[in-house]
Chain A
Amino acid sequence: MTDWLLFPYFALPAGLCWFVGAGFAFKTNGFRRAIFFTALGLCLFCVFMVGLWISLERPPMRTMGETRLWYSFFLPAAGLVTYISRRFKWILSFTALLSFVFVCINLFKPEIHDKTLMPALQSPWFAPHVIVYMLAYATLGAATIAAVYLLVGKKKRTTDEETISLCDSLTYVGTAFMTVGMLFGALWAKEAWGHYWSWDPKETWAAATWTAYLIYIHFRKSQPKRRSTAALILVGSFLLLQICWYGVNYLPSARGRSVHVYGQ
């Protein structure tokens, strides 16, 4: 049985693995070891998540703490895939760092870890909806890291071209996942709440976020040379995503009106 009390024993070694892996990425001939350590960290983290799923007897996706768990897992995973396919040596450090921030939030601010799941959430759509969304958030988080790197780093035409092309790839993947997550949500909502779209605050912000990423994709296609503007659009879109993900829980307009606010 795994529960939240065991979280530090899995999360801290996993985080350590990710940082060691990120360190090897900067070394010559460190490619394989970087992959090994990042993957090892992911395995450790995955064991905890599977254990938690079993002990809760439901998918660990209801509370914010539980969704942060998925985010902490998918972010280094997205970083690893990017690293393997593109060999950007800096990507692993950023994904490890961002992921560890979310691990720390779970370590220092544990929320109620309630086993119960309301009937509307007991659906085969629940797991795919949340997993695909968390994958999207993680990939788009990685895209944002690349965009910030482009905005802050030294301007060089060749490397900038490479970085923005990485942004494109990550945004395509992230937006594809986000589209699937949103549409799965719509299909589920039809079965559970009677309608596929009801401008629930979370849905409204999801629509805004989705539109923002569409703007980025269209802008890149039509104005490929305006890289900094594109990077700014990407950062702005990610801010909208934050409101959609957890910001709505704090918006007075969403209080008591959203089917997406659980917990208390």
Chain B
Amino acid sequence: MWILPWGYREGWTICTGLTLTGLAMQNFVGEFDVAAMPYPVNVAACAILAVVAVTVHALSRKYVVFRWFSSPQASITALAFVLFMSVIEGLGVATINSWAFTLVFAYLLLVLAAVVMRRLRKPKLKRDAGFVFSHAGLLLALVAASLGSGDLQRLRMTVARDAAEWRAANERNELVELPLAIELKSFDIDEYPPELMLIDNETGETLPRGKPTNVLIEACPTVLSLSDWEIEVVRYLPAAASVMTKDTAFFTEFLSEGATSALFAKARHKTTGVSSEGWVSCGNHVFPYRSLRLSDDESLIMPPRKPKRFASEVRVYSKEGESRESVIEVNRPLKYEGWKIYQLSYDESRGKWSHTSVFELVRDPWLPAVYAGIFMMLVGAIFLFLSSTENQTYNKKNKE
């Protein structure tokens, strides 16, 4: 080992050495904390990486040893270690924030940078374009994503209706004051039609065991089949209130805040012919839920309504006193003052009648660099796709 030219063995040894060093540091320094690397520490780390990479590249002209860092053997061994550590992470052992992973990852970046610089020494457009797009793109995306996470801010803001909020909680649950404020004008949920399911009376398990089925009530009146039961939905009240009488409860239309949904169903067992009828409701924070007992074993229930879309109508204010109205919904964040504001959640116990909306606010100044890297990788992937046919001729040439 260590006799020139280097090969796989040296690669494995370097990576093992880095891993052991990382494990030792873990003992003495503690967990590697990305959040402890905000600007300018991350920029300094980036500069150090660049200086080391350029030095390795410059020395590789003169010394064979340094040329090894841009070899496939170096790439393969580094990739194998990253693969190994992500598998461990995938198995549930936190690895990503460890020193071992950080060192191996930094080493992979160094190898990647050396590879890119070597290829760019005498570039030929046709031969090297795909290579450079995928490798440089990956390098850019990885550097920006890893070092940029020190500057990434993700905050959670809960806003009550008709109130404005300018503070949000970070991951450690500390309140942070923001240069912007959000006023919640209204919060809306569109729901999917109600569903019906069967449950076991004793255990409350959904039936059939293991693979519960449900039916969506899209029309009324309607007849559907659920396991061994034929169910006729006679009436459906999208906004209902339950009314208690002396010995029973029924539902009536109720068009105001706090309404729940209910339907009246008749069920008949397909083989035994046993039948029963009654109201079924999912209930909410105001009205109790109601199930229909079909037999000694089974009951018909309506699970909580599923949201189809939820959105907040807001007015956002900047520190300078400017403001603007907008709608924020899932998959449609709002960009404002360098922040992206996401619809995250709401008061789930109140569901449709939630008076609060929960937003996530994200600021990531390194994002454009990550996106540039991603874009380059996409171009690189197109080249890789096209090269799948060239590779045949490449092999033929090799044979000759």
- List residues of A whose CB falls within 8 A of some B CB: 85, 111-112, 114-120, 122-123, 161, 165, 168-170, 172-173, 175-177, 179-180, 183, 186-187, 190-197, 199, 201, 204-205, 207-208, 211-212, 214-215, 218-219, 221-222, 224, 240, 243, 248, 251-254, 264
A216 vs chain B, min Cβ distance (A):
10
Task: State whether A115 touches B381 (Cβ < 8 A).
Answer: no
Q: Which residue of B lies closest to A202 (CB)?
A: B90
A118 vs chain B, min Cβ distance (A):
7
Q: In the bound complex, how far is the Cα of B211 from the Cα of A30, in angstroms?
A: 44
Q: Which residue of A lies closest to B81 (CB)?
A: A211
Does B114 make an interface contact (CB < 8 A)?
A: no
Task: State whether B213 touches A208 (Cβ < 8 A).
Answer: no
Q: Indicate whether A191 sits within 8 Å of B96 (C-beta atoms), given known contacts A161-B395, A172-B384, A224-B398.
A: no
Question: Which chain A positions have C-beta within 8 A of B384?
Answer: 172, 175-176, 179
Q: In the bound complex, how far is the Cα of B138 from the Cα of A179, in angstroms?
A: 11
Q: Indicate whether A218 sits within 8 Å of B72 (C-beta atoms), given known contacts A173-B385, A176-B384, A179-B381.
A: yes
Interface residues of B in 347-388 (CB under 8 A from A): 360, 362, 364, 367, 370-371, 374, 377-378, 380-382, 384-385, 387-388
Question: Which chain A positions have C-beta within 8 A of B388?
Answer: 168-170, 172-173, 176
Task: State whether A211 touches B91 (Cβ < 8 A).
Answer: no
Known: A115-B216, A204-B86, A211-B79. 19 other contacts (CB 8 A): A111-B211, A112-B213, A112-B214, A119-B308, A119-B331, A122-B308, A168-B395, A172-B387, A176-B385, A179-B378, A183-B378, A194-B340, A194-B362, A205-B90, A208-B90, A211-B86, A215-B79, A218-B72, A251-B92
Point out the residue from A176, A196, A211, A221 that lies within 8 Å of B370, measured CB to CB.
Answer: A196
Does B389 make an interface contact (CB < 8 A)?
A: yes
Q: Indicate whether A219 sits within 8 Å of B391 (C-beta atoms), given known contacts A186-B374, A191-B331.
A: no
Question: Which chain B positions have C-beta within 8 A of A211?
Answer: 79, 82-83, 86
B5 vs chain A, min Cβ distance (A):
13
Q: In the bound complex, how far is the Cα of B266 from the Cα of A182, in angstroms?
A: 48
Task: State whether B374 touches A187 (Cβ < 8 A).
Answer: yes
Does B330 make an interface contact (CB < 8 A)?
A: yes
Question: Which chain A positions have C-beta within 8 A of B91?
Answer: 251, 253
Task: State whether B392 touches A208 (Cβ < 8 A).
Answer: no
4 closest A-B pairs (Cβ-Cβ)? A253-B92, A222-B72, A172-B388, A176-B385
Task: State whether A165 touches B395 (Cβ < 8 A).
Answer: yes
Interface residues of B in 149-163 (CB under 8 A from A): 152, 154
Does B39 make an interface contact (CB < 8 A)?
A: no
Task: State whether A120 touches B381 (Cβ < 8 A).
Answer: no
Q: Indicate whether A264 sits within 8 Å of B89 (C-beta atoms), given known contacts A165-B392, A173-B388.
A: no
Task: State whether B216 touches A116 (Cβ < 8 A).
Answer: yes
Does B80 make an interface contact (CB < 8 A)?
A: yes
A30 vs chain B, min Cβ distance (A):
24
Q: In the bound complex, how far is the Cα of B96 from the Cα of A253, in angstroms?
A: 15
**Interchain residue pairs with CB less than 8 A apart (16):** A169-B391, A169-B392, A172-B384, A176-B384, A176-B388, A177-B385, A179-B381, A195-B152, A196-B374, A204-B96, A208-B87, A211-B82, A212-B83, A214-B79, A215-B83, A222-B72
**B83-119 contact mask (Cβ, 8 Å, vs A): 1 or 0:** 1001101111000100000000000000000000000
Q: Which residue of A lies closest to B195 (CB)?
A: A116
Q: In the bound complex, how far is the Cα of B331 from the Cα of A120, in angstroms?
A: 6
Q: Indicate whether A116 sits within 8 Å of B308 (C-beta atoms), given known contacts A173-B388, A183-B374.
A: yes
Question: Which chain A positions have C-beta within 8 A of B332?
Answer: 191
